[in-house]
Amino acid sequence: MSPDFLNTIEVIVNGLMTGVMYSLVALGFVLIFKASGIFNYAQGVMALFAALTLVGFQTGQVPFAHLINAVFGSDYHHWSSGINNFAAIVLTVLVMIVFAYLVERLVLRHLINQPPIILFMATIGLAFFLEGLGDLMWGADIKVLDIGLPSGGSLWWEEVTRAWAADNSRYFGMYIDVLDVWASGIAVALVAALTLFSQYTRTGRALRAVADDHQAALTVGISLRVIWVIVWSIAGMVALVAGIMWGAKSGVQFSLSLIALKALPVLILGGFTSIPGAIIGGLIIGVGEKLFEFTIGPLIGGATENWFAYVLALIFLMFRPQGLFGERIIERV
Amino acid sequence: MTAGDILLSVKNISLSFGGVQALSDISGDIRSGEIRAIIGPNGAGKSSMLNVINGFYHPQQGEVWFCGEKRGALKPFEIARQGIARTFQNIALFKGMSTLDNIMTGRITRMRANLFQQALWKGKAEREEIEHRERVEHIIDFLEIQSIRKTPVGKLPYGLQKRVELGRALAADAKLLLLDEPMAGMNLEEKEDMCRFIIDVNAQFGATIALIEHDMGVVMDLADRVMVLDYGRKIADDVPEVVRNDQTVIDAYLGVVHETADDSNAAVES
């Protein structure tokens, strides 16, 4: 195989793995949008908050340490040297469930039957609030997140792929970050688990029912509020996984919440109401932007990854506004 | 509760939307085991009545008694859990889900496994799933919809959708089934099928049924007792034979010649 061909393969594989990460963020949006018709602007901040909380538990930070110290003149920072990863993840999941409950109790419950734009504005408010809360609880410094997943380039894969090229072709093998492989594997497992849960359990069926028709769901005895808490909890867990993966790659910092913006083109491609759409949309954007950068990028000065996804989304909006898998928009007059 | 006891009664129900009086001072009851029809011209308040019974609307005045107890202002899903299932005039199925899944949702109120058991699909969750699936298969057999078990209901023809919706309501093993125009928009053959199912549901499952229907022939054949509404008022409530010959009912349906005879003459001429 020629080195050019192998390079292209490498770009595609890396694009797919980046795409999985985009899909993961988009998935959180789709879950909430399907169940309640709310575009949850806070999804990205939820990923940030979950990652901050996880690191906080891991390292044994005292929550609200700055606030407590400022008020009482004390000097607390850590209550222990930290707890193990598993316990920290369980605790973080609990925090996200409590968060979901509070969102329903304090925000959604009061906005039932309001137009979508009001709910959207509420989630913008929620995003700012949560960002501030994360700052206040755990501090604004950039944190290292390490839950023990292997990372770095795979030497084994480099050896394997080097043998594919001709001996004298000066090809040195493909680079694949092991962390990306793990992240993809975990994301796939998460989606598979969610799919099984929604197909074969009572609550899963209730989730699908609510996503399909609110009125009908009420008449078969489903409480919308309970379902909303469950959906926001699941979205919180998806946010936690996304937060762990992105945080492990680039550190837990407040710009993490901006990954939500990258989910927007994914949603426009895949359709806001389709879980397979979110996954495939993410993959298309991941592969598309890497390939574009690799092939066209050098001709026009590079840095195309910053805008490629948005331009692609714009083209989609012109020709297929419902996305690849979204429900077709039919206007009857 | 034995057949013939009062299952549900409404007492002096009044409901208005702004200036529109949808129901005024309606009383009546539904007895266990009977097929009870509510009829009336368009806009008479029939669907409003059903919506009051299943909790979509809360009347400004009046009381609803169910199983001998006065009911508070409950939400529709709480009322569903008490044992009132319903279908809709315009069909409210989960269109993206299969026939089987739709009917399975009817059993949601009867499943008890907690989230944790469900997540692991262990213990009670697994047992329940199998047990309820069996029950649902029984209903599917009964309604003769085996062949569309896995089809998303959005793709089914209208008549079959109506049947699936009946199946979902039936799956709840409800004490009271509310059917809002179960035969609207059907052809003759489909109507006959639906009639047969309603009679069988009543006879075999022992379900108490309250239904709204426009087809007079169907109503008079099916119902044990008929309540007639007109402009939100009850104008008759009796067995079909009596209602059929009631002059106020005939007037309400055919239109009555009022004192302004000139107007009606003009209408005839034009």
Per-residue pLDDT tens for B188-225?
A: 888 999 999 999 999 988 889 999 988 888 888 899 99
When scoring A218, A219, A275, A327 by the number of chain B Cβ atoms within 10 A, the one with the most, hence best to mutate, is: A219
Instruction: Provide the mean pLDDT of chain A.
Output: 88
Domain with B148, as residue range(s), is 93-171
Residue B255: DSSP 8-state: -
Q: Quick one: pLDDT at residue A95?
A: 96
How far apart CA B51 and CA B86 sit, in angstroms, is 10
Hey, are the CB atoms on A205 and B92 less than 8 Å from each other? Answer: no
The band of B270, judged by pLDDT with boundaries at 50, 70 and 90, is: very low
Does residue A36 sit within a domain? Answer: yes
Q: What pLDDT, on a 0 to 100 scale, did the predictor assign at position B251?
A: 85
pLDDT at A103: 94
Most confident of A45-54, A157-166, A246-255, B251-260: A45-54
In a domain, A283, yes or no: no
Token digits of residue B52: 């009051």
Task: Determine, yes or no, domain membership for A2.
Answer: no
Are B159 and B237 in a shared domain? no
Q: How many domains does chain A have?
A: 1
SS3 B143: coil
Q: What percent of chain A has pLDDT over 70?
A: 98
Q: Does A221 touch chain B (CB under 8 A)?
A: yes
A23 falls within a domain: no
Task: Return the DSSP state at B40.
Answer: -
Q: Does residue B118 form part of some domain? A: yes
Among B150, B171, B192, the domain boundary falls at B171
Cα gap A84→A148, rounded to integer Å: 10
- ipTM of the complex, rounded to two decimals: 0.80
pLDDT band at B261 (very low <50, low <70, confident <90, very high): very low
pLDDT band, residue A329 (cuts 50/70/90): low
User: Residue B75 in 3-state DSSP?
Assistant: coil
Residues B147, B98 within the same domain: yes
The verdict on a CB contact (< 8 Å) between B105 and A197 is no
Residue A206 sits at the chain B interface (C-beta within 8 Å): yes
Mutate to test the interface with B, among A34, A202, A328 (most CBs of B within 10 A): A202
Rounded Cα gap, residues A46 and A59, in angstroms: 20
**Residue ending a domain, choose from B126, B149, B171:** B171
Average pLDDT of the residues of chain B = 87
Q: What is the pLDDT of residue B258?
A: 54
User: pLDDT band at B269, cuts 50/70/90?
Assistant: very low
Tokens for B147, please give them: 């062949």
Is A94 within a domain? yes
Distance from CA of B244 to the nearest CA of A (A): 33
- What's the structural domain count of chain B? 2
A144-194 pLDDT, tens digit per residue, is: 988 888 888 888 888 888 888 777 777 888 888 898 899 899 988 988 888
In this structure, how many other beta carbons lie within 10 angstroms of the beta carbon of residue B123? 13
How close A209 comes to chain B (CA, Å)? 6
Where among B139, B171, B203 does a domain terminate? B171
Q: Is residue B71 in some structural domain?
A: yes
* Confidence bin at B249 (pLDDT 50/70/90): confident
Strand partners, B209: B35, B177
Over residues B57-77, mean pLDDT: 91
Give yes or no for a contact between A213 and A37, defined as CB atoms under 8 angstroms apart.
Answer: no
- Three-state secondary structure call for residue B78: helix
Same domain, B268 and B186: yes
Whichever domain contains B60, its CATH number is 3.40.50.300
Residue in B closest to A225 by C-alpha:
B77
Sheet containing strand B225-230, edge to edge, reads B84-86, B176-180, B208-212, B35-39, B225-230, B233-238
B217: helix, strand or coil: helix
* B36 and B73, same domain (yes or no): yes
- pLDDT, residue A163, reads 83
- Taking alpha carbons only, the member of A189, A233, A228, A251 closest to residue A48 is A251
Query: What average pLDDT does the segment A64-83 reach?
Result: 84
Model-level pTM?
Answer: 0.84
Q: Which domain holds residue A103?
A: 30-261
- On whether the CB atoms of residues B100 and B106 are closer than 8 A, the answer is no
Asked whether the beta carbons of residue A215 and residue B92 sit closer than 8 angstroms, the reply is yes
Residue A3 CB partners (closer than 8 Å, separation 6+): A165, A169, A170, A171
The pLDDT of residue B267 is 45
Residue A293 falls inside a structural domain:
no
What percent of chain B has a predicted confidence (pLDDT) above 70? Answer: 93
- Chain A: give the shortest CA distance to residue B94, in Å: 5
* Cβ–Cβ < 8 Å for A79, A59: no
- Clarify whether residues B124 and B207 are in a common domain: no
- Is there a domain that residue B150 lies in? yes
User: What's the DSSP call for residue B140?
Assistant: H
* B181/B261 same-domain check: yes
pLDDT of residue B264: 46
Confidence at residue A99, expressed as pLDDT on a 0 to 100 scale? 96
Euclidean distance between CA atoms B201 and A84, whole angstroms: 58
Could you report the per-residue pLDDT of B84-118, keeping only the tens digit for each?
Answer: 999 998 889 999 899 999 999 999 888 877 777 88
Instruction: Assess whether B262 and B192 both reside in one domain.
Output: yes
Segment A119-145, tens digit of pLDDT: 999 999 999 999 999 999 998 888 898
- In angstroms, the CA B44 to CA A84 distance is 67
Tokens 């008022």 correspond to B233
pLDDT, tens digit, for every residue of B129-155? 889 999 999 999 999 999 999 999 999
**pLDDT at residue A81 in the model:** 78
Position A168 scores a pLDDT of 74
Question: Bigger pLDDT: B259 or B112?
Answer: B112
Residue A150 buriedness (CB in 10 A; 0-12 / 13-18 / 19+): exposed
Per residue, the 3-state secondary structure of chain A, as one string, reads CCHHHHHHHHHHHHHHHHHHHHHHHHHHHHHHHHHHCCCCCCHHHHHHHHHHHHHHHHHCECCCHHHHHHHHCCCCCECCCCCCHHHHHHHHHHHHHHHHHHHHHHCHHHHCCCCHHHHHHHHHHHHHHHHHHHHHHHCCCCECCCCCCCCCECHHHHHHHHCCCCCCCCCCCCCCEHHHHHHHHHHHHHHHHHHHHHHHCHHHHHHHHHHHCHHHHHHCCCCHHHHHHHHHHHHHHHHHHHHHHHHHHHCECHHHHHHHHHHHHHHHHHCCCCHHHHHHHHHHHHHHHHHHHHHCHHHHCCCHHHCHHHHHHHHHHHHCCCCCCCCCCCCCC
Model pLDDT, residue B268: 45
User: Same domain for B147 and B214?
Assistant: no
Contact present, A326 and A277 (Cβ < 8 Å): yes
Q: Which two tokens stand for residue A9?
A: 């393969």
Q: A212: which chain B residues are within 8 Å (Cβ-Cβ)?
A: 94-97
Q: Are residues B161 and B211 located together in one domain of the fold?
A: no
Residues B64 and B179 in one domain: yes
- For B163, the 3-state DSSP assignment is helix
Cβ contacts of A46 within 8 Å, gap of 6 or more:
A28, A40, A96, A99, A130, A235, A236, A239, A243
> Given this model, what pLDDT does residue A286 score?
93
Min Cα distance B229 → chain A (Å) is 24
Q: What is the pLDDT of residue A332?
A: 63
For residue B259, tell me if it sits in a domain: yes
Q: Which two tokens stand for residue A28?
A: 């959180």
Whether A10 is in a domain gets the answer no
Q: Which of B105, B130, B173 is the mutation pick for testing A, counting most A CBs within 10 A?
A: B105
**How far apart are the C-alpha atoms of A232 and A76, rounded to whole Å?**
33
Whether B208 and B242 map to the same domain: the answer is yes
